[in-house]
A and B are shown apart, each in its own frame.
Chain A
Amino acid sequence: MTKIKTHLNRRSFLKLSAAGGAGLMLQFSWFSSLASENPTIEEAFDLNGYIKIATDGTVTIASPNPEVGQNVKTSMPMIVAEELDVDWKNVKVVQAPLNTAIFTRQLAGGSRSINESWNALRMAGATARHMLVQAAAKSWGVPASEIKVNAGTLTHNANGKTATFGEMASAASNIEVPKEVDVKDIKDFKIIRKSHLNVDGPSITTGKPVFGLDVYGENMVYASIVHPPAFGMKLESYDASEALSMKGVDSVFTIDVYPDDYERNRFDISAFPQLIVITGDSTWRIMKAKKTIKANWVPFSAYTVKMEGNSNGEKVPSGTENTEAHYTEMIKKSKENAKQVRKDGNPEKAFSEAAKVIERSYTAPYLAHSPLEPLNFYANVTADKAELIGPIQTPEFMEKSVAKRLGMNLDQIDIQMTRIGGGFGRKLFGHYLVEAALISQKLKKPVKLIYTREDDMTFGAYRPTYQATFRAALDKDNNMVAFHVKTGGIPESPLFANRFPAGAVPNYLAESWTIDSNITTAAFRAPRSNFMGAVEQAFLDEVAELAGKDPIDFRLELFDNAIKKPVGNKNDYEAKRYAGVLKLIKEKSNWGTSKNGLSRGVAAYFCHDSYVANVVDLKMVDGKPIIEKVHCAVDCGIVVNPVAAANMVEGGSVDGIGHALYSMLSLKGGVPQQRNYNDYHLIRNNDAPHDVEVHFVESDVHPTGLGEPPFAPAIGALANALYKETGKRYYHQPFMMDIESKYLQSEANV
């Protein structure tokens, strides 16, 4: 067994009074500050404990992190239940309250929920099990080491004693909290590594109100916003007389969401800090009425946003921008001097002495996250309390924003996490939560703020638009001896200078540039990797072809270099694990064979601590790619819940492929040209791969994330398969615009 420190102390524990029904409540330090020393079980239940064991043997486990579809609401409690050693059938899962004093990183982002909470979750379960064992040892007068635990039952064989957790829960609540506890050997896992169905499956399939949009409060008013139609514009004046004369409309006013003197945190992104608000008695009536508001929008002058931890603030340039001009600017920038981020060997010399040199450039557009549940939040702000309920990936950060903006203390803010109807990064940025709170504070009423789809899509915080130029040099024996990446975007560069092929090639240069803009951007599933992984893997396919090598063998040779004689000492990846997923995909896809006239492409990428390789099998039918199958090989360490892990990989792969083929958010005069799903193309059932097959590397190492890693390599494999099928390389996303010859003139000239 492995010992881990518990980070708990005596005062951490809540003792349940006999009057309230006996049971063990495992809790952390925040309870010690509560007024009631001996709350009843009902009170304790209201406070949402981490683990609760009732006398009837029911175990309630709180899932700490926001659930956005990554299935942590099932997998996190599974880890607790494993170490506690209970029968999963007796486990009831609840969503934990936001409480940073108890829980580790209550945030859905960066594919880090399991990765960062693995030890804390194991500790919680193991601590409770330890106390139950100690209680049994004490009451039976036997050594704790002789007591066996299995699926919620304690047994002492020699004495013939047995007790359920429920029977021992009361006694366990009087046991001293251990300073350290044993966690299980990985080989003894009974719950982890076995498939467990989504705990919310029955609610979802029967239409239970589990999402933020489903929160309806007593006497609440409905609210919607009107924002500037273009980036670079702000409100001058407005006339709402027609709206106010319409039935059911209560009020129209403006709010300053983030005033000039407000210091923003990094999740306070908003291009439109001042908004018009309309409120009324139903969603439909305010949606109708808001269209009649006549606003006068004017261009703003450049300004600076105050930012926490950045004394210079963030500059917001003036002007209304265009996608055509963006591409022209990016291409110009790609040919100018850029910032050198990493250099190994002597790339200039290597390129000048090379037998063959290849150079290629790639672009990708802005993307709107477009989760199907639009931005919305419920707020009920009174003089001494702000109750906020809805979909948010960053409750810890937004609690601070709301407190600061409302002028309240942190302990007066109560953010409750609902299930999130898709985020993909967009719901990390909680301006809509602050907006709902401000509206409620002003009206002194409970408020439900809802964005229309058009509001959601045209509000900004997009995936940035990117450009990359790669060069590779081969020697006379077709070894890649130099690699050069120069990349940038608006407004950020997607470069990861220390990722593959850095470390695998003797001469290496990575350069970066950026262009400022007033179009807000934000983390989008696999930030930066969603572009870099895709285009780097498409480029390496061309290099392998130039070298006359099989694309998998070519990559394996490079990984072999990185294993045997790595270049530099700051390489972000483990070459052996990287090679491992390629070897697995080679085997599982029967690489090297061809079937039914399908064309195949391969790619592999490492990001968010996990490794994914893909093979895509497709054919073109009537000018449209029909993807028969996507093969995936994944190394994410220990796979906590296989059925859900495979679902993530399937969805992530299809999501990557969908965006690369179809999606684009473009601008003209600062105005987003796509406003709803009729003109913003997301992948649909009939376009989707017919099958996705997922294979995991068997591993005992620390589990890492799955929400993001599958996205980028699927795009690389798609691009490489499209080349095999059509004989043409696709350099500009979305590929369908290229396939249908609809791409922008400036892109064509790259």
Chain B
Amino acid sequence: MALYTINVNGKNHQVDVDSDTPVLWVLRDNLRLLGTKYGCGIAHCGVCTIHMDGEAIRSCAYPISSVENKKIVTIEGLSENGDHPVQKAWIEHDVPQCGYCQAGQIMSAASLLAQNPNPSDEEIRRAMNGNLCRCATYTRINKAIKTASKEM
């Protein structure tokens, strides 16, 4: 066990955990930021997607020791009032079914649009391929990203 300082959604937190603890479990078990989900633990489903210095990463694959001095943003910190263009588009298109994967989808989509504000259909599909949706809401996800891109 060791003390780590981790910057999440603009705030520093000190956590006392094993050095190999994935950021996912620090967020959930220690900080109780529960919007970031567990799905596979091997970076193959995308439900744990967060931003690290603006890049979308799978938080289950990053040990706490690798993220000190990085700026972490989770779904809870994406916008103050849930009004990021991607969040608004998700509501407008009524995307979620069960909803479990959607925080991860939104974080991947927000990162895509930050880097490429006007992606083609092909670019959207490729960028979102790492995020599984077991309810298969893919067509709505992609339409919502198109809508959000108009506001970026």
Give residues in A with beta carbon < 8 Å to B: 68-71, 195, 197-198, 200-202, 204-211, 213-214, 216, 222, 247, 282-285, 287-288, 370-374, 419-424, 450, 452-453, 643-644, 647-648, 650-652, 654-655, 658, 676-678, 682-686, 688-692
Contact = CB atoms under 8 A, between A and B. Distances in A.
B99 A210 contact: yes
Contact of B34 (A205, A209, A285, A688): A209
Contacts of B124: 685
B53 interface: no
B56 to A, nearest CB: 14
Contacts of A452: 41
Contact of B103 (A200, A207, A222, A692): A207
Interface of B: 1, 17-18, 20-22, 25, 28-30, 32-42, 44-45, 47, 74-76, 78, 82, 87, 90-91, 94-103, 106, 121, 124-126, 128-142
A419 B97 CA distance: 11
7 smallest CB-CB distances across A and B, nearest first, come from A207-B35, A421-B100, A69-B98, A207-B75, A69-B97, A654-B136, A204-B99
B98 A422 contact: yes
A378 to B, nearest CB: 13
B44 A676 contact: yes
Contact of B97 (A71, A205, A692): A71
| SS of A interface (majority) | loop
Nearest to A689: B139
A206 B101 CA distance: 12
A686 B46 CA distance: 14
A419 B138 contact: no
B32 A216 contact: yes
Contacts of A287: 41
A202 B84 CA distance: 12
Contact of B99 (A421, A650, A690): A421
A194 to B, nearest CB: 13
A685 B102 contact: no
19 contacts: A204-B103, A207-B36, A213-B34, A282-B25, A283-B28, A283-B29, A284-B21, A373-B100, A374-B39, A421-B99, A647-B94, A648-B97, A651-B136, A658-B136, A676-B40, A677-B44, A678-B44, A682-B134, A690-B139
Contact of B132 (A209, A284, A682): A682
A540 B142 CA distance: 34
A285 B137 CA distance: 34
A650 B96 contact: no
A654 B139 contact: yes
Contact of B140 (A71, A284, A650): A650
A420 B102 CA distance: 13
A455 B30 CA distance: 24
B22 A422 contact: no
Contacts of B101: 372
A421 B137 contact: no
B139 A691 contact: yes
Contacts of A372: 37, 39, 45, 47, 98, 100-101, 132-134
A651 B139 CA distance: 9
Contacts of A209: 34-35
B45 to A, nearest CB: 5
Contact of B41 (A201, A247, A419, A453): A453
A677 B41 CA distance: 10
A204 B102 contact: yes
A453 B20 CA distance: 19
Contact of A201 (B74, B78, B91, B142): B91
A643 B98 contact: no
Contacts of B140: 647, 650
Contact of B37 (A373, A643, A655): A373
Contacts of A204: 96, 99, 102-103
Contact of A213 (B37, B126, B128): B37
A419 B91 CA distance: 18
Nearest to B88: A205
Given A213-B37, A691-B139, A685 B125 contact: yes
Nearest to B137: A651
B61 to A, nearest CB: 12
A651 B82 contact: no
B35 A247 contact: no
Contact of B94 (A201, A371, A450, A689): A201
A651 B134 CA distance: 9
Contacts of B82: 202, 205-206
A643 B94 CA distance: 7
A648 B78 CA distance: 28
A688 B139 contact: yes
Given A247-B18, A647-B97, A686 B126 contact: yes
Nearest to B96: A204
A283 B25 contact: yes
Contacts of A690: 121, 139
Contacts of A213: 34, 37-38
Contacts of A205: 75, 82, 87, 90-91, 96, 102-103, 106
Given A204-B103, A247-B18, A650 B137 contact: yes
A706 to B, nearest CB: 11
A68 B97 CA distance: 8
A651 B135 contact: yes
A572 to B, nearest CB: 27
A108 to B, nearest CB: 11
A648 B140 CA distance: 11
Contact of A685 (B47, B76, B103, B131): B131
B139 A371 contact: no
Nearest to A215: B34
B26 to A, nearest CB: 8
Nearest to B63: A284
Contacts of B33: 207
B114 to A, nearest CB: 17
Given A207-B36, A284-B18, A371 B98 contact: yes
A198 B37 contact: no
B136 A677 contact: no
Query: Which of A195, A207, A419 neighbours the largest number of chain B CB atoms within 10 Å of its CB?
Result: A207
Query: Which of B25, B39, B76, B140 neighbours the largest number of chain A CB atoms within 10 Å of its CB?
Result: B39
A318 to B, nearest CB: 33
A70 B102 contact: no
A685 B34 contact: no
Contacts of A692: 139
A420 B126 CA distance: 28
B12 to A, nearest CB: 20
A523 to B, nearest CB: 16
A209 B133 CA distance: 18
B129 A686 contact: yes
Nearest to B92: A197
A688 B35 contact: no
Contacts of A682: 132, 134
Given A201-B90, A247-B18, A371-B98, A647 B137 contact: yes
Nearest to A246: B18
A701 to B, nearest CB: 25
Given A204-B102, A419-B98, 6 more contacts: A206-B76, A247-B1, A282-B25, A284-B20, A678-B42, A684-B129
Contacts of A214: 34
A584 B13 CA distance: 58
Contacts of B95: 647
B103 A422 contact: no
Contacts of A197: 91, 94
Contact of A688 (B40, B78, B106, B136): B136
Given A420-B98, A654-B139, A282 B17 contact: yes
Given A209-B35, A682-B134, A198 B98 contact: no
A609 B42 CA distance: 40
A179 B115 CA distance: 63
Contacts of B78: 206
